[in-house]
Amino acid sequence: MAEEMSATLSIARRLPLSGGKGAIPQLGYGVYQCPAATTAATTLHALQSGYRHIDTAGIYRNEHAVVAGTAQFLRLNPTVSRSDIFISTKFAPHLKGYEAAKASIAQSLSHFRNPLALNDARLKIPAVRPDGVTRVAWPGYDDFANSGEKTERDGLGYIDLYLIHAPSGTLEERNGAWRAMVEAQGRGEIKHLGVSNYGVRHLKELFEFIEGEEREGRAGGKVEVWQGEVHPWLSRWDITRLCEEKGIVVQAYSPLARATRWGDKLLREVKERTGKSEAQILVRWSLQMGFVPLPKSEKNERIDENADVFDFELTEEEVKKLDTGKYEPSSWDPTVWTN
Ligand SMILES: NC(=O)c1ccc[n+]([C@@H]2O[C@H](COP(=O)([O-])OP(=O)(O)OC[C@H]3O[C@@H](n4cnc5c(N)ncnc54)[C@H](OP(=O)(O)O)[C@@H]3O)[C@@H](O)[C@H]2O)c1
């Protein structure tokens, strides 16, 4: 994957998707492990900071909160369109096959189409601040929460990107889940399709299935995005080269390597040269590699920090040196599953 021309990088940059009908904002905000009770607020904050892409999942149990925060943002910012925002969600790994995928898509779609008001009990947002004031301290909360009004704008209408979270189940079950996704795309419920944590073998099996469907005159769908753990200690050239060859965008999860590498020698050197933080250097590396990094934080100041990466640039040599060639996942690694 060629390093991107730094001059073209900006928070507004979108990468075209190979289905030909849209683009994905290159910087995303990840919400794994963010409690639902705070995720509406952090989502709203991220969107106000300029992020236009959020990554959630059925198993994160905060999809509804992401949608609530996004709907609130759109309400407060009428000049921003629904189509400016991109939300990824996923088919949970413990569920398998066609019927389960159909039911999961329906559940996600119902979240996307029926955003909860911020004072809805299901969001579990505290209605009373510790100082006793009956309001939550973020813009427009009372306005939306108490209006009781639901406008067409409040519903997000469709899912931007639906991913199979991991290559669990049998090949038949994985293909069945994919078929349910293709059908939902045909109904306009999902815009783009992809897979997460698939290894080279899983991807090739899926490409074969898609070709088979098309040979028999059925819509096979297109793998437009692959999501996986990618950072300098796990650049996964086998998978990312295959993605490049097939025109598949790489969403890089755990782009900060879960904040476990702050003492790294090279990171410290680049930090000294640029005055930027380790987290910013890692986000910038991912962007310059042409990936779509999804840094996660529950803290507003870090959400801002992770997006403040467009006033410096890594040299070509730094980009190359940071790619350590190591294979050190910071969490699970389903790409090697043999089921
Ligand atoms: N498809 C999958 O299987 C999969 C798996 C993992 C992740 N993901 C996606 O990728 C996203 C990101 O991955 P991740 O959550 O594993 O890891 P990550 O983004 O690499 O790191 C998150 C950790 O870094 C900390 N952090 C964030 N910004 C920081 C900063 N500026 N300075 C210091 N520490 C900072 C966070 O703490 P605070 O929150 O306290 O700031 C958190 O502990 C997830 O949220 C999820 O959307 C997908």
Q: What is the pLDDT of residues 109-119, one digit of tens each?
A: 999 999 988 77
Number of Cβ within a 10 Å radius of residue 11: 16
Q: Atom 4 of ligand 1 has which residue's CA nearest to it?
A: 253
Please determine, for residue 316, whether its predicted confidence score (pLDDT) is greater than 60. Answer: yes
Tell me whether residue 19 is in a domain. no
List the structure tokens of 125.
């947002």
Is residue 334 in some structural domain?
no
The total of other beta-carbon atoms located within 10 Å of residue 195's CB is 27
How far is it, in rounded angstroms, from Cα 39 to Cα 64? 9
- pLDDT, residue 133, reads 47
Does 120 fall in a domain?
yes
What is the domain count for the chain?
A: 1
312 lines ligand 1 (CB under 6 A): no
Report the chain's mean pLDDT, rounded to a whole number. Answer: 91
Q: Which residue has the tokens 């306009």?
A: 188
38 CA distance to ligand 1 middle (Å) = 15
Please tell me the distance from the alpha carbon of residue 256 to that of residue 294, in angstroms, as a whole number: 9
Any atom of ligand 1 within 6 Å of the Cβ of 278 = no
Domain assignment present for 302: yes
The predicted-structure confidence for 226-237, as pLDDT tens digits, reads as follows 999 999 999 999
339 in a structural domain:
no
Residue-level pLDDT at 37: 85
Provide the token pair at 171.
């090949």
Beta bridge pairs of residue 86? 53
How many Cβ atoms are within 10 Å of 82's Cβ, its own excluded?
Answer: 15
For residue 120, the model assigns a pLDDT of 78
Mutate to test the pocket of ligand 1, among 230, 253, 277, 278 (most ligand atoms within 8 A of CB): 253
Tokens 């803290």 map to which residue? 299
Specify whether the CB–CB gap between 3 and 28 falls below 8 A: no
By annotation, the residues acting in catalysis are: 60
Q: Is residue 338 part of a domain?
A: no
In the structure, what pLDDT confidence band is assigned to residue 141 with cuts at 50, 70 and 90?
A: low
| CATH assignment at residue 280 | 3.20.20.100
Q: Would you say the pTM of this structure is higher than 0.75?
A: yes
HEC assignment per residue over the chain: CCCCCHHHCCCCCEEECCCCCCEEECCCEECCCCCHHHHHHHHHHHHHHCCCEEECCHHHCCHHHHHHHHHHHHHHCCCCCHHHCEEEEEECCCCCHHHHHHHHHHHHHHHHHCCCCCCCHHHCCCCCCCCCCCCCCCCCHHHHHHHCCCCHHHCCCCEEEEEECCCCCCHHHHHHHHHHHHHHHHCCCEEEEEEECCCHHHHHHHHHHHHHHHHCCCCCCCCCEEEEECECCECCHHHHHHHHHHCCEEEEECCCHHHCCCCCHHHHHHHHHHCCCHHHHHHHHHHHCCCEECCECCCHHHHHHHHCCCCCCCCHHHHHHHCCCCECCCCCCHHHCCC
Q: Is residue 13, in this structure, part of any structural domain at all? A: no
What is the pLDDT confidence band of residue 152, given thresholds at 50, 70 and 90?
Answer: low
Shortest-distance atom of ligand 1 to CA 251: 10
Question: Do the strands 225-229 and 249-253 form a parallel or antiparallel pair, or are they unpaired?
Answer: parallel
Cα–Cα dist 202/50, whole Å: 35
Per the structure, the complete domain to which residue 219 belongs is given by: 24-328
Least confident interval from 24-33, 114-123, 131-140, 275-284: 131-140
The residue nearest atom 21 of ligand 1, judged by CA position, is 258
| Alpha carbons within 13 A on the beta-carbon side of 299 | 4
Work out which ligand 1 atom sits closest to the CA atom of 302: 31
| Tokens at 167, concatenated | 């290559």
Q: Does ligand 1 lie within 6 Å of residue 253's CB atom?
A: yes
Beta carbons within 10 angstroms of residue 115's beta carbon? 26
What is the reported pLDDT for 224?
A: 98
Mean pLDDT calculated for residue range 171-179: 98
Residue 148 has pLDDT above 70, yes or no: no
Regarding the beta carbon of 197 and ligand 1, being less than 6 Å apart is answered: yes
Least confident of 66-80, 108-122, 166-180, 191-205: 108-122
Within-domain flag for 172: yes
208-227: per-residue pLDDT in tens? Answer: 999 999 999 999 999 999 99
165 is in an annotated binding site: yes
pLDDT confidence band for 21 (50 / 70 / 90): confident
Q: Is the pLDDT of residue 200 over 70?
A: yes
Residue 294 in contact with ligand 1 by CB distance below 6 A:
yes
% of residues, the chain, pLDDT over 70: 89
Q: How far is the CA of 58 from the centre of ligand 1 (A)?
A: 17
pLDDT at 132 over 60: no
